[in-house]
A and B are shown apart, each in its own frame.
Chain A
Amino acid sequence: MTSASLPASAKRSKRVLPGFGLTMGVTLTYLGVIVLLPVIALVLKGAEIGPARFWAIATAPRTLAALQLTLTAAAMATVFNAIYGVLMAWVLVRYNFPGRRLLDALVDIPFALPTAVAGLALSALFAANGWYGAILEPMGIQVVFTIWGVAAAMAFTSIPFVIRTVQPVLEDLDPQYEEAARTLGAHPFTIFRRVVFPAIFPALLVGITLSFARSLGEFGAVIFIAGNLPFKTEIASLLAVIRLEEYDYNGAAVIALTLLIIALVLLAISNILQARALRYRGKTG
């Protein structure tokens, strides 16, 4: 055997499973057509506008107000989801109680429900004469037509992300770590903070990122409860629709592109944080 033929045979032997070329081709084509092309089209549209004009549209008072509301409400929803999601995952994994499986199934409802239905239901509940509104309104807390309503709708539709990313990691967490911590004198809260939380943190980060990204783009559930008052409770994606209806394609594209950039930056930050949180896995991975 010549020395030149060695690398070739070595290369070939790496492909254990057949059909790599075909499956990879199909996947990439699909990804290109469905995901990448629209994004590129959007970016080109934005480039067409030119930076000065882009900036002017993006910083117009109404756009700015919409972006600010969207980001703030999404942040509020995500903070809530991060805390509640971990709690819920904890309860589902660590305790065995009647109805646990039912509760587990309920978690997926926000994903399964048409968002318009969720929006209608939420606004009915929080309206002044609704079940929740009737209690909150006399206390001076208004939810419908305020940022709280927007955040509530966002939180509702994105909660499964956190629960479903954290839950499997908690399930796989070896109880021996906690037992070891107990014999070393750590009390429950310390164990959670120093042993359990670091273990679920990377997954939580993924859940948080997805939850935030989803909240940024949530439309159906929000518009029912928000009231959509310009400068007050008008979310960015609704403003994009309004611009489109006014045949202001550039206006719509700028808003969409801005949301896209925010989401991408977030994803990048999340990935960096994750990589740092997983440093300990070492080179052996």
Chain B
Amino acid sequence: MSLTVQNLTRRFGQTEVLRGIDLEVKSGELVALLGPSGSGKTTLLKIIAGLDWPDAGRLVVGGEDWLDKKAQERRTGFVFQHYALFPHMKVRDNIAFGLTVMDRAHRPAPATIAKKVEELLHFLQIPHLADRYPAELSGGQRQRVALGRALAIDPAVLLLDEPFGALDAQVRRDLRRWLREVHDKAGTTTIFVTHDQEEAFELADRVVVMGAGLIEQIGSADQIYDHPASPFVARFLGLTVEIPVTMRAGRAEAAGLDTSALPRRAMADGPATLFLRPADITLLPSPEGAFRVTEIATTGALLRLRMEGPADCQAEAELPRRAAPALSLGQTVTLRPEVGHIFPGSPTPAQPAPAPAPVSLIKESSR
């Protein structure tokens, strides 16, 4: 079912956790809420599920005003980060729970429930786990059971709060693919929360980037990756190097910067900020270079360098160790950005990116 959120606001005491959220999710769509810790993702999900209430705003699902409905009446499938499986019930009974608690008039017959549970167990590829207790399952298996329990009630919307947060990288990747398949087969409108951009980009039809209670950008993986809408999104996507520049005739200029690789922009002349990924910077050793190497670290495959430029500007670069030019501490270099984004205005005083993701992850962004 389609879902519309309008101007949703939520305050906890003085702090505004959601500051006017507007969001449209089409029927059958898989949307990722991506944002750093504390940006209000869980709060938004809980409001949609009816576990929390907004101070203002509207929430309409399938044409019905959901703020008029209690959690019990909404039929949302909520998958909690730590699964929240009922520990004293077997897998089978956990999955059946939502069906067995329906009021008598709507509750299916026991045989029908059993059949449906059996179908779900097969659908989720866990029929052999039916008679185990949650304590006897691995994290990935619990995740599947939690999803089964949520799907059993034929939810109007499926809400997943960091569904793979507590799993190791390999299981995450497997389950991610599997979740996409499950979604495509079940066709349920799905919103899932994550702070892992690789996960969001790979899995979702559309990604909603949230920062501090506001939606910063909505778009496909490629749109967001290629055209971050704000400095916040740029930082969040790993463009953590910020260099003050001056725009002149569509070109960014700054001392010690060779911007010949960057295309011209239709931007007014004046001060601006260039956002770069450390991996997208080429270093050209030069006696006149305005940047001085202050730190060199190696991660084995990569060489990570810190540099100090004019006016305390800090930059960071990352390059394959094999291809790196001979560099030493104290050496001066010129920076040559290969790709970058420019936003008007001076850099905001050192506000570090909330969750700088590993650069290696950003590369494989297409699904």
Contacts and interface: CB of A to CB of B under 8 A. Distances in A.
A282 B76 contact: no
Nearest to A187: B72
Interface of A: 174, 176-177, 179-187, 190, 194-195, 198-199, 277, 279-284
Contacts of A281: 87, 133, 135
Nearest to B89: A280
B205 interface: no
Interface residues of B, number: 31
A175 to B, nearest CB: 9
A174 B80 CA distance: 12
Contacts of B102: 185
A199 B51 contact: no
Contact of A184 (B132, B134, B136, B149): B149
A35 B132 CA distance: 41
B98 interface: yes
Contact of B153 (A185, A198, A283): A185
Contacts of A181: 86, 97, 101
SS class of chain A's interface: helix, strand, loop or mixed? Answer: helix
Contacts of A187: 72, 101
A177 B87 CA distance: 9
Contacts of B90: 280
Interface of B: 49-51, 71-78, 80, 82, 84, 86-90, 97-98, 101-102, 132-136, 149-150, 153
23 contacts: A176-B80, A179-B78, A180-B86, A181-B97, A183-B50, A183-B51, A183-B77, A185-B101, A185-B102, A186-B98, A194-B97, A198-B86, A199-B87, A199-B88, A280-B89, A280-B133, A280-B134, A280-B135, A281-B135, A282-B132, A282-B135, A283-B136, A284-B136
A183 to B, nearest CB: 4
Contacts of A194: 86, 97, 101
Contacts of B88: 198-199, 277, 280
A174 B84 contact: yes
Contacts of B78: 179-180, 183
Contacts of B87: 199, 280-281
B101 A184 contact: yes
A284 B133 CA distance: 11
A184 B149 CA distance: 8
Contacts of B76: 183
Contacts of A284: 135-136
B153 A179 contact: no
Nearest to A281: B135
Contacts of A179: 49, 51, 71, 78, 80, 84
A179 B98 CA distance: 12
Nearest to A182: B71
Contact of B84 (A180, A186, A199, A279): A180
A183 B136 CA distance: 25
A276 B72 CA distance: 31
A182 B86 contact: no
Contacts of A280: 87-90, 133-135
Contact of B72 (A176, A186, A198, A199): A186
Nearest to A193: B101
Given A179-B84, A282-B133, 10 more contacts: A180-B86, A181-B97, A182-B72, A183-B71, A184-B149, A185-B101, A277-B88, A279-B133, A284-B135, A284-B136
A184 B98 contact: yes
Contacts of A177: 84, 86
B97 A186 contact: yes
